[in-house]
């Protein structure tokens, strides 16, 4: 392994035994649980189960290499396809062979098996370093710290600048849903493209539209909160865009109940507006044969996108819990997160990185759009996304709108059904 300079003092971070900070509950440490010392790191090999969004893999490997040089530990990065992640983790947990660390987009399927990191942290203020809304998902009922929100994603639109310019349509600094549709439809008419707007087939992506129309699946306390009237209004708009041909109906219907990205429609220049999220920036930059840009989310009752994100977690089954916690803490220190999110073009989760911002080496203006949009996200969007009942409810939204587009239901019926699903899912996960 080649030497990496600039890591002086990093090992010291792992050796500090910090007292519990005010407001951070002290963990009841099992046995002799404590932060890892040099001997617990040197020569240890950690398994890190990882799925990649693309450009993050190289950045992650580079950061891991620095950790290995600083500590003498080894990290075996095990790649798994995103579609196989939950099944792989569940199988390994069931077999008693959970990895030491994993990257996941959802903690809820494994929550009972996650390691409380608090007794192993060298800095007991570390859990307070993250945005409260993003960190809420990793807190247990007794204050457990079950993982780290390692990066933030945000849904939002991209526009084909060449098509907008050809049609003589400016991209505004802020627009309403009416204005976005009017602009996209004008571009479609002038350029002769088949569609105006494309959106990933995803309940999560469609939840963005619900939030903009003033409602989310769950409230700040995690209870069912979908306003059927507001949801109906949003779904009427969505259905109307398909009925008019502004959005591709076949795209939504032909893939059954599976997720499907609409990036190919955008890359083929068949639609001038693409509703997706910041993880697409690097992929579009590599694959597009035209000028594109991130654009502000459209506003209805309110503005802003809808959040998602990834987490680094460890498991109670880990053979090296102290080393695993040290690795998670190190990877999510301010300097490492600054470097990693800049290279991977993610959004930061640390409070000390949000206000000063990140100096992205590529597509800086696009990332600034997403950073600005993140400040407009309503707090209940975070609690909704992190709810154990979110996935089931979002899938119901995806399936019910498909029934609407297929002529088997109405927007109001779909909204009512989704509300009922959210209530049943909430009751099940909360034991009621």
Please provide the DSSP assignment of 154-181 as one string: EEEEEEEHHHHHHHT----SS-BHHHHH
Mean pLDDT of 331-349: 92
- Selecting from 3.40.50.720, 3.40.190.10, 3.40.430.10, 3.40.50.2300, what CATH number does the domain 155-307+376-430 have? 3.40.190.10
Quick one: pLDDT band at residue 257, thresholds 50, 70, 90?
A: confident
Residue 1's pLDDT band (boundaries 50, 70, 90)?
Answer: very low
pTM metric for this prediction: 0.85
Mean pLDDT for the stretch of residues 128-153: 92
Q: What is the mean pLDDT of residues 93-112?
A: 94
pLDDT in tens, 288-298: 999 999 999 99
Q: Do domains 38-153+309-354 and 155-307+376-430 have the same CATH topology?
A: yes
Q: How do the domains of the chain map onto residue ranges?
A: 38-153+309-354, 155-307+376-430
Give me the chain's average pLDDT, please: 90
Cβ count near 179 (within 10 Å) = 13
Question: 334 in helix, strand or coil?
Answer: helix
Alpha carbon dihedral 316, 322, 325, 329, in 10-degree steps, equals 170
Confidence of residue 432 (pLDDT cuts 50, 70, 90): low
Query: What is the model's pLDDT at position 6?
Result: 35
pLDDT of residue 25: 38
pLDDT of the residue at 161: 98
Confidence of residue 14 (pLDDT cuts 50, 70, 90): very low
Average pLDDT for 420-432: 90
Please report how the helices 228-243 and 203-212 are oriented relative to each other, as an axis angle in degrees rounded to 10.
120
Instruction: Tell me the C-alpha to C-alpha distance, in Å, between residue 77 and each of 26, 51, 61.
Output: 31, 10, 8
With contact defined as beta carbons under 8 Å apart, do 79 and 50 qualify? yes
Residue 15 pLDDT level (bands cut at 50, 70, 90): very low
Q: Does the pLDDT at position 135 exceed 80? A: yes
Question: Does residue 103 carry a pLDDT above 60?
Answer: yes
Tell me how many degrees the CA angle 419-421-426 measures, rounded to the nearest 5.
95
pLDDT over 70 at 356, yes or no: yes
* DSSP bridge pairs for 338: none
Tokens of 222: 């995690």
38-153+309-354: what CATH class? alpha beta
């Amino acid at each position: 392994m080649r030497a990496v300079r600039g890591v002086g003092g990093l090992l010291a971070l792992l050796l500090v035994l910090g007292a519990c900070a005010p407001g951070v509950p002290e963990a009841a440490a099992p046995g002799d649980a404590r932060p890892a010392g040099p001997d617990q790191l040197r020569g240890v090999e950690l398994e890190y189960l990882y799925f990649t969004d693309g450009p993050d893999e190289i950045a992650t490997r580079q950061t891991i290499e620095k950790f290995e040089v600083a500590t003498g530990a080894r990290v075996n990065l095990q790649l798994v396809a995103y579609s196989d992640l939950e099944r792989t983790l569940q199988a390994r947990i069931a077999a008693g062979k959970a990895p030491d660390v994993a990257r996941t987009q959802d903690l809820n399927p494994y929550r009972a098996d996650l390691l409380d990191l608090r007794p192993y942290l060298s800095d007991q203020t570390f859990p307070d370093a993250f945005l409260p809304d993003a960190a809420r998902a990793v807190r247990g009922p007794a204050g457990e710290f079950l993982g780290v929100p390692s990066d933030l994603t945000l849904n939002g639109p991209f526009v084909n600048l060449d098509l907008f310019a050809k049609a003589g349509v400016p991209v505004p600094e802020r627009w309403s849903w009416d204005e976005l549709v009017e602009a996209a439809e004008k571009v479609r008419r002038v350029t002769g493209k088949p569609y105006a707007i494309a959106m990933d087939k995803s309940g999560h992506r469609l939840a963005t539209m619900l939030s903009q129309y003033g409602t989310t699946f769950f409230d700040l306390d995690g209870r069912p909160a979908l306003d059927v009237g507001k949801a109906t209004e949003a779904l009427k708009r969505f259905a109307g865009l398909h009925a008019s041909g502004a959005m591709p109906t076949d795209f939504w219907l032909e893939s059954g109940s599976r997720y499907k990205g609409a990036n190919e429609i955008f890359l083929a220049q068949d639609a001038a507006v693409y509703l997706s999220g910041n993880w697409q920036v690097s992929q579009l930059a590599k694959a597009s044969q035209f000028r594109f840009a991130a654009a502000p989310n459209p506003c209805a009752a309110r503005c802003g996108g809808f959040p998602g994100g990834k987490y680094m977690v460890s498991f109670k089954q880990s053979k090296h819990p102290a080393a695993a916690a040290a690795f998670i803490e190190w990877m999510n220190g301010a300097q490492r997160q600054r470097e990693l999110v800049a290279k991977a073009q993610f959004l930061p989760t640390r409070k000390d990185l949000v206000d000063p911002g990140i100096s992205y080496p590529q597509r800086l203006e696009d990332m600034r759009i997403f950073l600005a949009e993140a400040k407009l996200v309503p707090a209940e969007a975070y609690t909704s996304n992190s709810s154990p009942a979110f996935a089931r409810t979002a899938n119901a939204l995806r399936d019910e709108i498909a029934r609407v587009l297929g002529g088997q239901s109405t927007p109001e019926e779909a909204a009512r059904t989704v509300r009922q699903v959210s209530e049943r899912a909430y009751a099940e996960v909360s034991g009621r």
